[in-house]
Amino acid sequence: MARPHTRMPPRHDARTMAGICSGSREGKSVRYASALLGALVLAASHAGAQRVGAIGSAQAAGVEAAGAHDPARPRAMQLAEARVSAEPAAPPPSAVPPAPAVRPAYRELRFEEDWSALRDPEALASRDLFDPLKHVPLTDDGSVWISFGGQLRERVEAWSGFDFGAPEDDDEVFLLSRLLLHADLHLGPHVRVFVEGKSALSTEPFVFGGVRRLDSDTLALQNGFLELRGALPGADATLRLGRQELRFGRQRLVSPLDWANARRTFDGASLALAAGELRVTAFATQPVRVRRYERNDHGTGHAFYGVHAQARPWADGPLRVELYAYGLGRDDVVFEGTAGDEDRFTLGGRASGELPGTGLDLDLEAAWQGGEVGDERIDAAMVATQLGWWWAEAPTSPRAFLGLDYASGDDRPGGDVELFDPLFPLGHAYLGYVDAVGRQNVIAPSLGVTFRPLARTTAELTGYWFWRADRGSGLYDAGGRLLRAGTASRSRNVGAEIDLLVRHQLDPHTVVAVGYSHFFPGGFVERSGPSEAIDFGYLIVQYTF
């Protein structure tokens, strides 16, 4: 069955926080949330005695923290880069003076950065133009300080055959501009206030009939939260209250969606507990709807909550494991033949790591969804895997990889809902940069290679093949929008895509990227409507400070 348009926050209402916190809403969402929060308390009570700071614990995310998706960086190269950045430095002998402090790296979630090292600028091995903005003391003892930063991104997109030629004007060239500015106020070691503003503009805000809802957001609050830190028995705790971005694992299901001009964000609360290699995060939020020329809000009737845990089973081992349970509640949804309030929960896990001494790495994630839509049950699933081989000693450090993605669809309209819901994904990073295929009703093998032709240049070439998993469901794009109904054709073959992306780091602040993608329509597209081949080219210039 098809779902209503998309799962992106700008296209749905959101349930009030009072309903989440008080449990006043009828249905199962509140009971699911209570169970998930109970699981968090149980995890905290069994956490190890070793504690890490909230910022330092983020390093336990390994590939996710060091190699978070950058829309201008080939996604497969992130794994190789993360190997280097995630390796701990050996402590110097006592007779040797300590090495200079390492400058913090810019992160996708800017509130994960820790610039406290600039309290003593002389301790850093190098200086930067923006150092005076990164640590501004507000008291004589330096316990209260503020940090400033931002990012400017310009992206030119050129399209031919958008949506396979379905729009009247399917050939367009336009410019997307985004400015992010933030202030990070530290009121001692336990209290913090983080505020980030956003302006996202497009030269064609209603391009392709206005289906791209995340291109424009004239002026909005992207992040604005109060953070409280403290120590609990066996773990360090970080509580955030307010508007905040969420990102977990490889962002297949929960992501701020940095590729979008208007990034995704949520209103609500999150609590993170960190103990050694274990990090557990619980959250209760509402997706924020993007309104192009009005104030963004979370509306009513939409809730997202859950628990995510990540750890290394063996402290010195290569394996990293994640487990998660998410709940999604929406009022008055309508599927093909099925309507009512939706209470959907997702149970999943991920394992990733390297085989030491082989150059091989593996990433495997699977999730199952249950719950109800009206009186009908939900039964859906997805699996994503990638096997890579990295030849580090070669001149260009190539990495070849083979992947397979599966997400269920409905075998017939009406009745039980078997279509997988990708929730709030970084859809652009997977299943092709054209974004014509999302993680719903799909079987997609992929093959690719990444390499470094120059020291500061990375390149990626990837090919995809797409089939419908079930004939009863149609084709959904990366944002969850239904492009073709399942009844339009019996063919499973959706098509194939090839992506080329080259990224160059000009300096510590500036990234330039250029990419080209081509989609070859298959039998299902050809027999269900317009079937033009899609060409997509883009140029990105991004400056971060």
Which one-letter DSSP state was computed for residue 76?
Answer: T
Lowest mean pLDDT among 102-106, 179-183, 313-317, 528-532: 313-317
> Is the entire prediction scored with pTM above 0.85?
no
Coil/strand/helix, residue 534 = strand
Question: What confidence tens digit (pLDDT) does each residue in 502-537 have?
Answer: 999 999 999 999 999 999 999 999 999 999 999 999
Please state the rounded mean pLDDT for residues 413-418. 88
Share of residues in the chain with pLDDT > 70 (%): 81
Asked if 67 and 78 count as a contact pair (C-beta separation under 8 A), the reply is yes
- Centre a 10 Å sphere on the Cβ of residue 134 and count the other Cβ atoms it contains: 22
- Which two structure tokens, joined as six digits, stand for 126? 């190098």
Query: Which residues does residue 338 pair with via DSSP β-bridges, in sequence order?
Result: 335
Question: What confidence tens digit (pLDDT) does each residue in 48-98 have?
Answer: 433 333 333 333 333 333 344 454 444 444 444 443 333 334 444 444 555
**Distance from CA of residue 15 to its chain's centroid?**
22
Coil/strand/helix, residue 427 = helix
- Which two structure tokens, joined as six digits, stand for 135? 């640590």
- Which two structure tokens, joined as six digits, stand for 90? 């050996």
Mean per-residue pLDDT of the chain: 85
Lowest mean pLDDT among 9-23, 95-109, 226-240: 9-23
**Which has the higher per-residue pLDDT, 316 or 208?**
208
| pLDDT for 39 beyond 60 | no
Which span out of 82-91, 112-121, 414-423, 514-523 was modeled with the highest average pLDDT?
514-523
Beta strands in 245-359 (DSSP E): 266-275, 278-287, 302-311, 320-335, 338-355
- Put residue 479 in one of left, alpha, beta given phi > 0 → left and psi -120 to 50 → alpha: alpha
Residue ranges and CATH numbers for the domains of the chain are 9-89+106-544 (2.40.160.100)
Question: What confidence tens digit (pLDDT) does each residue in 214-269 have?
Answer: 999 999 999 999 999 999 999 999 999 999 999 999 999 999 999 999 999 999 99
